[in-house]
Structure 1
């Protein structure tokens, strides 16, 4: 969370509008309904995200990844350069519990980020390079 706050502050100093999210849970999922990184947001933050996405074109992404404590941590920064807006989404998952999903995502060649509420309302981001989101492949 400290990394997210520091990175968001850097964007704000450059004049960008930022939205920092605080997911209650995150996991890599592979089901009939969705495959990708799934984060659950509190209702007010989800509503704020919806309004940000509706009024801006998020086309770019910056991903910061760290591995440790048997978890993969990612800070996803969804970027709308034309409107100078950034959404910060921290997430984590256990790669030992997600090996099949990681391979499915690698084979698909893209990754979906599902930001949702408990009632299953969802804002989805799709990225055509899953590598920054995933642990280094074991050779």
Structure 2
């Protein structure tokens, strides 16, 4: 961990990841798509590793003091489930302009890799009808997302909360296949099993 709180593994491989994102964006453009690339200054899992569950809210995390009446429901109090993505003001303004112009994500694609104890995920939010896409790069340490991963799997959704420095303006993208963010089955389409 460096002085800015960014995992060293992220810094070490971030530049190569950004190059891969740019290459993927170029491939989309060559296929006739308009692409908005976002460049996050920070990405934080929600809930994060320091967010404590409330009484009875987290399966497997209870203790003897929780009591027999603890509600076994999985974290009903968690209202943000995904990744908080901080982007520069000008990029957020461009995203809002795109939405004002009718952009509506009808599908998404994820690309994921792990290097040096960090995970890197590119989420491509796709408006198929207009052939426009928003590229949302994410990074995290898998050890920081254990609770998020479990809750996302239980609820069948994970979100990307894109925002500028101000938390009053947020664009939320929702995804109904959360496993693609955490590595389960990530190569299924590329390397089919032999019969």
Shift in Å at residue 127 of structure 1?
1.0
Q: Does residue 39 of the first structure (1) align with residue 80 of the second (2)?
A: no
SS in 2 for 1:83: coil
Equivalent residue for 2:97, pick from 23, 26, 51: 51
After TM superposition, the score normalised by the length of structure 1 is 0.92
Higher relative contact order (CA 8 A, sep 6+): 1
Q: Which residue of 2 aligns with 1:117?
A: 164
Structure 1: which 4+ aligned runs deviate by more than 6 Å?
A: none
Q: Does residue 89 of the first structure (1) align with residue 136 of the second (2)?
A: yes
SS in 1 for 2:129: helix
Structure (1/2) with the larger strand percentage: 1
Paired positions, count? 137
Equivalent residue for 2:29, pick from 5, 8, 12: 12
Alpha-carbon distance between aligned partners in 1 of 2:89 and 2:166, rounded to the nearest angstrom: 9
Unaligned stretches of 5+ in structure 2?
1-17, 52-77, 186-195
Decide which structure has the larger Cα Rg and report it.
2
Q: Which residue of 2 aligns with 1:129?
A: 177
Map Cα deviations across residues 15-53 of structure 1 (whole Å, 9 max, x no partner): 111101100011211274511111101100001011112
Map Cα deviations across residues 72-120 of structure 1 (whole Å, 9 max, x no partner): 1100100001101011111101111221121111111111111111111
Shift in Å at residue 133 of structure 1?
0.6
RMSD over aligned CA atoms reads 1.5
SS in 1 for 2:91: helix
Alpha-carbon distance between aligned partners in 2 of 1:135 and 1:63, rounded to the nearest angstrom: 10
Shift in Å at residue 136 of structure 1?
3.6
After TM superposition, the score normalised by the length of structure 2 is 0.67
Unaligned stretches of 5+ in structure 1?
none
Please tell me whether the aligned partners of residues 95 and 135 of structure 1 are also in contact (alpha carbons under 8 angstroms).
no
Please tell me whether the aligned partners of residues 70 and 95 of structure 1 are also in contact (alpha carbons under 8 angstroms).
yes
